Structure 1
């Protein structure tokens, strides 16, 4: 902002402090409006964040009961108050609204303007520390009303009123979730959420299973190649089977990889691992508990299309196995269902098992992303490592 010409004198304002030379001094005095001014706080920032602040590209996010966070377009920062025992004097600029009139009044009364006018003593400042986005609430919100067959039926009935309870638009999520826009988009992608009718939804697992099974059925019936699915043909057939086109496209994007972009005709290749994992989850969901390994493998292989992989290695972070007597049992235990906060994550893991072999533990912590802290640092903080010899695999217990 350009200063008014008749205020180019630095007396009394922040300019008088900024213009001080090393080893020089300046008297200070109470500003005519000196007081607590609780609406003014100091914020200490890394220099690289200044462009975002000056161009109004930062946001404070959180509900009234949350600890506030500051978000840029791509990162999230915790905001913490740090007190100081020193007196930090805040001196407003001399061209601040109302400052000129107050100083003129004091000048007329013979006051010495060769002083910096202190408007407030700050007891400390706010500092920001980069943190992982708080995305756990996102899945909780979207799980309130997953998109299912009832929603698809409503779309076919014109004029039917929509119950918006438990539904969230982008603006609603921004207000609720403490994460930057980029981190929120990434969180939605990791949950396989999609936008339909302006709302972000999760697809009901049973309904998704129906669509995928129908897609695979049509592949056999119409002799489609799983490695080269014509998008328009697939979506057209699924739509004729009663599935909304946008929902069918979402299913294709979850379980397939697009082969061609741009002006070329779009084709898709089904992803073997994602399809196989889907059916493994389906088998375990129907079992509602532990299954004998032999039975699980038999049912899993019957569901998965011929030629797709069904090795246990692709189920890392999806299952836990346990040997009871001579039998091996398996059950669902998904890393994606665990909290993103490290302390909460390790607490649940050690309630599940008091001792973890590294090969079993690693799939459940490798996605932890705590800025400034490595995975080794997290292990040191939350676990005790036991290793009888360098030739044996380490075992981890709670610290």
Structure 2
């Protein structure tokens, strides 16, 4: 274009001339060093008109360039060579020296180039294909590895960042080579990087997960349809907005590990290939039947055999998968065996929510009814309900009502907004239970 006809620009540069000595290696060794070099700081890839993909890796003191053609791959590592032109001329530039820089005949466009800055911990994941970009078209994309999520921020350059190929770059021979002249000191710019992308570790965005799964909880109606094997009911089920693992991966901005933890936190279960949350009323029916059988069969709450529990609940017409799910929601494994222990806090919190629902009760009345619901052999203490209920003074009375941490946003700013909108002033002992589950990278709760 017109820009390629500009006159060469002379540029004086002060550079650090210290360089590591790079030993010559075979092509296969070069490939290995290229992808395993822990000092790599930046990389980008772009396709040029001559069907060549170019990946540029910038480390602390070396520039690595990889050319991928249709039928072969050539690895070029900028080393101490006798070549004076191209990128090597800039690398070898001494303090107080200058070099002529001009625009290459292939200069521009620049919109197809993005520079990504990544720390050493991410380099291996990037070059081994263990990263994904996640987000819907109307969302800011995030980059995910196996266990972490990173926000992507573009930082523009106030100065021009030139991309200069080596003088022996296939497909980008200097004009001097084409014309037959021997100007080894010539340096040509083929691209200008407008800026670079930065990665900032962030918390997974799991609020949408709760919203999607709570739209269609799995309840008694679907269980009856499963038992009756009614095709029309199954057709109706397919009309519901249900989500497979792949659907959630493509929708939720979180790493795979964070997504699994999010599913566990909302007590989700995979049924017929779809991830569902079980309706609380139906889960209450299963729990009550389990506790009833514990009394009838004299089972200990601390050592429940999973096979026996599932067998009994199936006989009471509960699906076996949901019977096992009930144990995982209200209990914990005993030393990685098939034995389960019912956790008193989980059971007691469940019955407290069942009693309060959406209403406020006098504290004395609530405690009296709550103790009636708690199974014999378990002790319910009001401290168990931290993060689930709040109290307020109305005259001389103390009233209690539900205010669950599970219903709050997962981002700190939104959560604090909801908390202080609900109550303008908090005592730390009341506020702290609603902050425990907040995990912001590099930020402590204090």
Quickly name the TM-score band, shorter chain normalised: 0.7 to 0.9
The reply on whether 1:36 has 2:106 as its aligned counterpart is: no
* 3-state SS of 1:355 partner: coil
Hey, what does 2:339 align to over in structure 1?
267
Hey, what does 1:149 align to over in structure 2?
220
In structure 2, relative to structure 1, the CA distance for the partners of 1:252 and 1:91 (3 Å cut) is same
Hey, what does 2:187 align to over in structure 1?
116
In 1, distance between residues paired with 2:93 and 2:144? 35
The reply on whether 1:172 has 2:247 as its aligned counterpart is: yes
Question: Pairwise mapping of residues 281-360 of structure 1 onto structure 2 (< 5 A)?
Answer: 281-285=353-357, 288-360=358-430
The Cα of 1:32 is off from its aligned counterpart by: 2.5
CA RMSD of aligned residues (A): 2.4
Hey, what does 2:130 align to over in structure 1?
57
In structure 2, relative to structure 1, the CA distance for the partners of 1:147 and 1:23 (3 Å cut) is farther
In 1, distance between residues paired with 2:402 and 2:158? 54
In 1, distance between residues paired with 2:121 and 2:371? 53
Hey, what does 1:394 align to over in structure 2?
none
Conservation of the 8 A alpha-carbon contact between 1:92 and 1:117: yes
Conservation of the 8 A alpha-carbon contact between 1:322 and 1:328: yes
Hey, what does 2:277 align to over in structure 1?
202
The Cα of 1:123 is off from its aligned counterpart by: 2.4
Larger displacement relative to structure 2 (8-17 or 61-70): 8-17
The Cα of 1:200 is off from its aligned counterpart by: 1.1
Conservation of the 8 A alpha-carbon contact between 2:330 and 2:342: yes
Hey, what does 1:387 align to over in structure 2?
none
* 3-state SS of 1:321 partner: strand
Match of 1:129 among 191, 200, 205: 200
Unaligned regions of 5+ residues in structure 1, if any? 377-399
The Cα of 1:359 is off from its aligned counterpart by: 0.7
Hey, what does 2:143 align to over in structure 1?
70
The Cα of 1:212 is off from its aligned counterpart by: 0.5
In 2, distance between residues paired with 1:192 and 1:16? 61
In 1, distance between residues paired with 2:288 and 2:222? 19
The Cα of 1:43 is off from its aligned counterpart by: 1.1
Q: Which has the larger radius of gyration?
A: 2
Larger displacement relative to structure 2 (223-232 or 112-121): 112-121
In 2, distance between residues paired with 1:10 and 1:60? 40
Hey, what does 1:363 align to over in structure 2?
433
Conservation of the 8 A alpha-carbon contact between 2:110 and 2:191: yes
Hey, what does 2:55 align to over in structure 1?
none
Conservation of the 8 A alpha-carbon contact between 2:86 and 2:185: no
In 1, distance between residues paired with 2:76 and 2:423? 70
TM-score by length of 2: 0.77
Hey, what does 1:258 align to over in structure 2?
333
In 1, distance between residues paired with 2:87 and 2:249? 37
* 3-state SS of 2:126 partner: helix
The CA deviation string for residues 279-329 of structure 1, in whole angstroms up to 9 with x for no partner, is: 1111111xx221111111112111110121211101000011011111110
In 2, distance between residues paired with 1:362 and 1:4? 57
The CA deviation string for residues 261-285 of structure 1, in whole angstroms up to 9 with x for no partner, is: 3xx6x11111111111111111111
Conservation of the 8 A alpha-carbon contact between 1:43 and 1:125: yes
In 2, distance between residues paired with 1:68 and 1:343? 20
Conservation of the 8 A alpha-carbon contact between 1:277 and 1:315: yes
Hey, what does 2:48 align to over in structure 1?
none
The Cα of 1:122 is off from its aligned counterpart by: 1.8
The CA deviation string for residues 169-197 of structure 1, in whole angstroms up to 9 with x for no partner, is: 11111111111111111111111111121
In 2, distance between residues paired with 1:73 and 1:15? 38
* 3-state SS of 2:267 partner: coil
Conservation of the 8 A alpha-carbon contact between 1:318 and 1:334: yes
In 2, distance between residues paired with 1:163 and 1:271? 36
Conservation of the 8 A alpha-carbon contact between 1:11 and 1:116: no
In structure 2, relative to structure 1, the CA distance for the partners of 1:229 and 1:107 (3 Å cut) is same
The CA deviation string for residues 361-388 of structure 1, in whole angstroms up to 9 with x for no partner, is: 1111122111122222xxxxxxxxxxxx
